[in-house]
Amino acid sequence: MTDAPPVCDYEGSDYRTRFWEGQGRDYEDQVERIALRRLMPPTGSTLIEIGAGFGRLADEYIGYDQVVLFDYSRSLLREAQAHLGNDTRFIFVAGNWYNMPFVSGLFETMVQIRTLHHAADAPALFRELARIARPDGQYILEFANKLNLKAILRYWAKRQKWSPFALEPIEFVDLNFDFHPRWIRQELAAARFRPGRMLTVSHYRIALLKRLLPTRLLVGMDALAQWTGNWWQLSPSVFVSNAHLEGGGTAVPHTFFACPTCKTALDEVTNNRLICPNPACGYQWAVEDGLYDFKEPV
């Protein structure tokens, strides 16, 4: 395998029950769905969610013919599979996002929410996503914003050392990064995406407000405030829609998976294996109970 930056691994974690279910995050879930619906094309042929985890947002993709839920954690994908496995539109794929196991020019729409903050090398990730995007495909990205109001006030009060105005990402905990909106747009453009509309999200992610005010009211207020994203970005979360610039081509018909090491298109599954036909490579990848496992060769 080629060398790649470190990846945050949620294998075996209780992320679904510890962070989402019953944890008072209905507000965050609802406002993120509003932003996604505003930016994502509602229908299409192929969609991939990068860092799909346990499939929290899978019900937003009903307008797509084929949906890949991609994550580094096999266990989280098994959770998604447990409640989506009867829907044949969904394909569950484990792998490293710096070496995506798909042919070039495959996906019409790509979605990435609440996972870029784990990217040690976001530009490398953007380049790899540009490779698998169709010409003029759409990439809906959410990122953790270092230029948020709380960080600015803390910096001015000398309660934090790093400047929210500096362009470079800040790693505030191991493999947890915040990003400056201008830096994100620059790096997306360098990877041949064309950044478009920005939406600011989770303006009222404050524990006291969430206790005192009804969730419905907070969601409505946030839905209105999201439209300010093209002028300023002071919220902790920012969404941006990106068009993939013309260049390259659409995937060859009837091709889908590719060896993540050498990018050679893979043939049909044989004996629960996908085998790279490139004699100089020859890696084999496991397919077990509907999960395509590209984390490491077998």
User: How does residue 1 score in pLDDT terms, banded at 50, 70 and 90?
Assistant: very low
CA–CA separation, 123 vs 82, rounded Å?
Answer: 33
Tokens 């013919």 map to which residue?
65
pLDDT, averaged across the chain: 96
- Which domain CATH number covers 186? 3.40.50.150
- Specify if 66 maps to a domain: yes
User: How does residue 274 score in pLDDT terms, banded at 50, 70 and 90?
Assistant: very high
- Specify if 34 maps to a domain: yes
Output the CA torsion 25→89→139→57 (10° steps): 0
- Specify if 8 maps to a domain: no
Residue 267 predicted with pLDDT over 70: yes
- Specify if 298 maps to a domain: no
Q: Provide CB contacts within 8 A for 189, sequence distance 6+.
A: 195
- Specify if 263 maps to a domain: yes
- Specify if 4 maps to a domain: no
**Count of H-run helices and E-run strands, the chain:** 8, 12
CA–CA separation, 35 vs 235, rounded Å?
Answer: 13
Structural domain including 52 reads 15-293
Residue 5 predicted with pLDDT over 50: yes
Question: What total of structural domains would you count in the chain?
Answer: 1
CB 63 within 8 A of CB 44: yes
- Specify if 94 maps to a domain: yes
pTM: 0.96
CA–CA separation, 16 vs 254, rounded Å?
Answer: 35
- Specify if 9 maps to a domain: no
The average pLDDT across 240-254 equals 89
